[in-house]
Amino acid sequence: MEQLIAYVDGGSRGNPGPAGFGVRFERPDGTLVHEFAESIGTATNNVAEYRGLIAALEWARAHGARQLHVRSDSELLVRQMLGRYKVRHPGLAPLHARAAALAREIGRVTFEHVDRSRNAHADRLANAAMDGRAGGGTGGLAPQAIEPGPILAREPPTDPSASGDPRGEPTMDERLSYRKAAPDVYEMMRRVDEYLETCGLEPSLLDLVYLRASQINGCASGIDRHWKDLRAGGASEQKLSMLDAWREWPEYSARERAALEWTEAVTRLAGGEVPDRVYDLARSQFTEAELAKLTLAVAAINSWNRLNIAFRTRPGTYDPALRRRASSAATPAPSRRADDVRENR
């Protein structure tokens, strides 16, 4: 994907009060790529600004951006991201750390402070999000679109019958439903999931592994699902917000750290191997049998991610309540409802 420009804005009615953010992506020529907004509950202006920045960075990474120029009318946010201001407030420190980690993963991210008049679209979206607070925020970081522009909107192709972009860039329409096209493939993957759910590893640990692998792979549907599962299971938003920078955050347990280190090494296979130090760390926290099961879990989520990325599975529809109901049913043959909860891996 070519360079993108992200306009971000966040605000709060009352500071703190009902808060939200807006994000708008454009090409350098001003062509709209995508825009979205989210109500985030009660928060301060500065927290809302950072939440908007994080959501923009998450979207850019998930869609393959390697160059991103961020424009914001928050001088504090821009100067902190440029390293000119220190982050002194304890409530902003984890948000700043996560934004910095995301920027490093994307590659080249630059920041510019602009006048509010140049940030009018993001301001409009942020105000729409704040006005929608009466209905309750969505929580988490999965953006809820409010009158969005078309995803990866672009000029009409030279051939009206063509479904792709004439420059060769992909659209973001779902290519196919692999569940419908090859139900036996889907069933095999589902059975691996069923085994892992009862293999003895902690469900919260598995979901943490699934979320981290999905972040590394840039799988939006995987991030959406496992973020929601962890939040539904009681994980704090702060803990999940720091997952990209877990080595710098002390709240992860030794067992979680070993699992995350193993997940990253097995997912990336840098240099074609998993280093001895990573193996030794994992063995200090997991038995041989547990480590074999953990490795299967990493392999499984990487397979789900690749299926969803390859066929552009649309994220955002997963409901963790369906998973809980399916698990409590415990019927011998999985129902259609039980199958549905696995769609957005």
pLDDT tens-digit profile of 207-255? 999 999 998 888 888 998 999 999 999 998 888 888 888 888 888 999 9
Residue 29 has pLDDT above 90, yes or no: no
Cis status, amide bond into 334, omega within 30 of 0? no
- CA pair distance 236, 233, nearest whole angstrom: 9
Q: Which of 149-153, 179-183, 246-250, 277-281 has the lowest mean pLDDT?
A: 149-153
Could you give the CA distance from residue 295 to residue 314 in angstroms, rounded to a whole number?
27
Query: Which CATH code is given to the segment(s) 178-340?
Result: 1.20.1290.10
- Fold observed for domain 4-135: Nucleotidyltransferase; domain 5 (3.30.420)
User: Lowest-pLDDT range, 87-91, 117-121, 264-268, 325-329?
Assistant: 325-329
pLDDT tens, position by position, 87-128: 888 889 999 999 999 999 888 999 999 888 899 999 999 999
Contact criterion met (CB below 8 Å) for 264 and 246 = no
Specify the DSSP class assigned to residue 13. Answer: S
Q: How does residue 320 score in pLDDT terms, banded at 50, 70 and 90?
A: confident
Cβ-proximal residues to 182 (8 Å cutoff; 6+ apart), any chain: none
Whole-angstrom distance, CA of residue 121 vs CA of residue 68: 18
Backbone conformation region of residue 312, classed left if phi is above 0, alpha if psi is from -120 to 50, else beta:
left
Residue 216 contacts residue 264 (beta carbons within 8 Å): yes
Residue 36: beta bridge partners?
A: 23
Q: What is the token pair recorded at 82?
A: 């440029």
Annotated domain spans of the chain: 4-135, 178-340
